[in-house]
Amino acid sequence: MAIVSQRLRRRIERDFPEPGSANGVIAMVSAVSESERIQAALVLWTGGDHERLRQARDLALLDWRDALVTADLADEGWPARLDAELGPEG
Q: Domain coordinates of the chain in residue numbers?
A: 6-86
Work out the mean pLDDT of the chain and round it to a whole number.
93
- pLDDT tops 60 at residue 77: yes
Contact 2, 82 (CB under 8 A): no
Instruction: Determine the average pLDDT of the residues in 39-45.
Output: 96
**CA 75 to CA 1: how far, in whole Å?**
31
Amino acid at 84: A
**Alpha-carbon dihedral 45, 90, 34, 4, rounded to 10 degrees:** -70
Tell me the average pLDDT across 36-46: 95
pTM for this prediction: 0.92
At 2 the pLDDT is 65
CB atoms within 10 A of CB 14: 11
The per-residue pLDDT for 89 is 82
Neighbour-count burial of 85, counting CB atoms closer than 10 A to its CB (0-12 exposed, 13-18 middle, 19+ buried): middle
pLDDT (0 to 100) of residue 55: 94
